[in-house]
Amino acid sequence: MPALPQTMTVIGITAPGGPDVLRPETRPVPQPGPGEILVAVAAAGINRPDVLQRQGGYNPPPGASDIPGLEFAGTVVGRGPGATRFAPGEAVCALVAGGGYAEYAVVHESNALPVPEGLSLVEAGAVPETYFTVWSNVFQRGRLQAGESFLVHGGSSGIGTTAIQLAKAFGATVLATAGSAEKCRACRALGADNAIDYRSEDFVAAAKAATGGRGVNLILDMVGGDYIDRNYEAAADQGRIVQIAFLNGPKASANFSRLMLKRLTHTGSTLRPRTVAEKAAIAAELQEKVWPLLQAGRCKPQVHATFPLAEAAEAHRLMESSAHIGKIVLTV
């Protein structure tokens, strides 16, 4: 391997604020610790938590890098003590608690996965955050089973496009909400059986109609706010709702009698602060159960646009516009 530089370019957050606070900075190249690998980053996915961090509302957990970026793909260029899983030169993608918007990043080897055959590094950079999130919330917490009905809000988002494909691949009937006719068409093209334009349709009525009046077995919600009460109405008896974000706010007025009468389960989780071991367990299941789908082309990350690392601010503007379908990726 060629000698590594001492410094690298990263995207720092100069102060809480709008996209323009994202600026290139020079930082030392990190050194891998025990069990860690150093990766020359080729691509880093952008996610809503990055926007919240930039705005000052989602600080990295203790010990994590203050550099934004929760996922990346690239080539292994260094290994810390005891790291043996990946060889130098191997292509990997990884989930991190911070540090992705950089030329080099470190990650514990158990939180990295080989780049699936057939995917480019740019596509692989769009995989970890959404696939870890969907697998842990839809299949582990939500317990989605073949033959059940599944509704994902924000179906054209990175999370949504992933959830549609995985739920369909594992035998569910898939419903998705999205904010335009174009986005609904994209959801159907990815496998959604029903796509509901929430700007012109009542998703509760549409979900009940699509399920013969029974309601939906599992709902993945990143909206919150008034959607909480409406999710309770749209859910089937013994349905489950998994909360992963609150784009409309974390507080709501809801008719909780539905929770009792329908015997609903409303749970939720965040991914970023979970331990290395917990993320490693998710990674192991992904490699066993989902990587074959990626390699067979049955699921594929939807990359809407790429931006050079130095143009992270422009990438965030696109993210905040919600004009995209799928993922936005920074390239290094």
**Domain containing 241 — which CATH number?**
3.40.50.720
- How many domains is the chain built from? 2
Same-domain status, 135 and 257: yes
Q: Does 20 map to a domain?
A: yes
E strands, 14-136, are 22-28, 36-46, 71-79, 91-95, 104-108, 112-114
Same domain, 261 and 138: yes
Q: For residue 42, what are the β-bridge partners? A: none
User: 269: number of CA atoms within 13 Å, CB side?
Assistant: 18
Judge whether residue 2 has pLDDT over 80.
no
Percent of the chain with pLDDT over 90: 98
Query: Could you tell me which of 180, 112, 184, 199 has the C-alpha nearest to residue 152?
Result: 184
How does pLDDT run across 198-251, given as a tens digit for each residue? 999 999 999 999 999 999 999 999 999 999 999 999 999 999 999 999 989 899
pLDDT band at 1 (very low <50, low <70, confident <90, very high): low
Same domain, 173 and 61: no
Q: What is the pTM of this model?
A: 0.96
Same domain, 287 and 258: no
Burial state string for 127-141 with b = 16 or more CB within 10 A and e = fewer than 16? bbbbbbbbbbbbbeb
Are residues 57 and 147 both part of a single domain? no
| Residue 113 bridge partners (DSSP) | 93
Tell which of 268, 292, 322 closes a domain.
268
Range list of H helices, the chain: 48-55, 121-124, 128-134, 158-169, 181-189, 203-210, 227-234, 257-261, 276-289, 291-295, 312-321
User: For 78-88, what is the mean pLDDT?
Assistant: 98
The CATH number given to whatever domain includes residue 326 is 3.90.180.10
**Residue 1: inside a domain, yes or no?**
no
Q: What is the pLDDT of residues 10-24, one digit of tens each?
A: 999 999 999 999 999
Q: What is the residue range of 159's domain?
A: 131-268
